[in-house]
Amino acid sequence: MFSGRAWRLVKFGEPADAVELRQMTWTAPGPGQVLIRVRTAGAGYPDVMMAAGRFPLLGDPPFGLGEEAAGEVVAVPPGSRFAVSDQVTGITGFLEGWGGYAEYTYLREGSAIRIPAGMTDEQAGGFPIGFRTAYAGLVERAPVEAGQTLLVLGAAGSSGATAVQLGKALGATVIAVAGSPLKLEFCARNGADHGVNHRTEDLTARLAEITDGRGVDLIYDPVGGDTAALALKSIAHSGRIALVGLASGAPVALDTMDMLLRNYSAVGVLATPGAPEAETAVWGRLADLAARGAISTPVGRRYAFEDVPRMITEQRSPGPGKSVVRVAAR
């Protein structure tokens, strides 16, 4: 049994009032789990949704926050493919109440990998969710092909930034949409071929210019709302929109008659684990891409463990990149 501190959501509401640091114990992991001593944990907009009671996969508090974490394995069940002292990163057991903002946490064994050489703690802690979601969207659900045009909304955010990188690794021409010059500069450094400021530029006109009037083959949409609705005006014939999230607060409103007349489709994206062999292959491919330097966590703001409530509040309007919490040193 292991003891330590963990941030827990004890009621729905503002993080400063609803999230408390509590002493917890972790027993030996069961089948399909590994227990790690956490060094870093990735953050994102889902933390805001969880605190507000708007995350559809969770029940009522109390439960832990933090969907992903990296650290050292301290306990495994019989037959595990991991061993004590392995350095790993993966998706936490947050759906069962065990989050990453804790000194220890359980990872789903099927959604965990050994940390590739050269990956920093911060990169490891923020790697799993964004890239697994991007893989679900760009490979499994709405495959983008080499030479096609990929439009990424919210491209400076933790979800969009991983889609920019994976899209480039898959050979797409990537157009990043963001809301400030600072964010567009970040997108360019992150690999985007083109950038559009949706607050100051005519998105429709710019996309027509960039694509020579053809439109975009795939829209990766973690934003929803009016921005996604506007982007749909520029979708190509037989194009697709991958519905990933609703950072704007609402999903995009789809016009089925418009979809019929312009022959495009909408695909929901939720990165749920598939068959064990297939899931292992997915994580193996992502680990290989990371080891080769084709993808790398776009780390943004770094937070101390004590600052988790403030960090969650700031995920409503984060700066560019992936926010990461440093839980403990090596």
Do 143 and 249 lie in one domain? The reply is: yes
| pLDDT value, residue 14 | 96
Do 106 and 135 lie in one domain? The reply is: no
Query: CA distances (Å), 258 to each of 224, 226, 239, 317, in order?
Result: 17, 16, 12, 32
Provide the token pair at 106: 């359980």
Do 109 and 225 lie in one domain? The reply is: no
What is the arithmetic mean of pLDDT over 4-18? 96
Q: By residue range, what is the domain housing residue 58?
A: 2-127+297-326
Do 201 and 262 lie in one domain? The reply is: yes
What is the arithmetic mean of pLDDT over 100-116? 97
pLDDT digits (tens, 9 = 90+) for 142-192: 999 999 999 999 999 989 999 999 999 999 999 999 999 999 999 999 999
**Residue 37: helix, strand or coil by DSSP?**
strand
Do 62 and 107 lie in one domain? The reply is: yes
| pLDDT value, residue 273 | 78
- Rounded to an integer, what distance in angstroms lies between the CA atom of residue 253 and that of residue 27? 45
The structural domain count of the chain equals: 2
* Extended strands (E) in 179-297: 194-197, 216-221, 235-243, 265-268
| pLDDT value, residue 218 | 98
Q: Answer whether the bond into residue 15 is a cis peptide, omega within 30°.
A: no
Residue 318 clears pLDDT 90, i.e. is over it? no
| pLDDT value, residue 246 | 85
Provide the token pair at 223: 């934003």
At 281, the amino acid letter reads: A
Do 84 and 60 lie in one domain? The reply is: yes
**Residue 9: helix, strand or coil by DSSP?**
strand
Exposure class string for 262-280: b at 16+ Cβ within 10 A, else e? bebebbebebebeeeeebb
Do 206 and 307 lie in one domain? The reply is: no
User: Domain with 227 in it: what CATH number?
Assistant: 3.40.50.720
Among 253, 268, 283, identify where a domain stops: 268
Do 209 and 116 lie in one domain? The reply is: no
Residue 86 clears pLDDT 80, i.e. is over it? yes
Place of tokens 């899209």: 167
| pLDDT value, residue 330 | 74
pLDDT digits (tens, 9 = 90+) for 191-229: 999 999 999 999 999 999 999 999 999 999 999 999 999
| pLDDT value, residue 24 | 96
For residue 235, is it within any domain?
Answer: yes
User: Domain with 112 in it: what CATH number?
Assistant: 3.90.180.10
Mean pLDDT of the chain: 95
Do 29 and 155 lie in one domain? The reply is: no
Do 158 and 32 lie in one domain? The reply is: no
For residue 238, is it within any domain?
Answer: yes
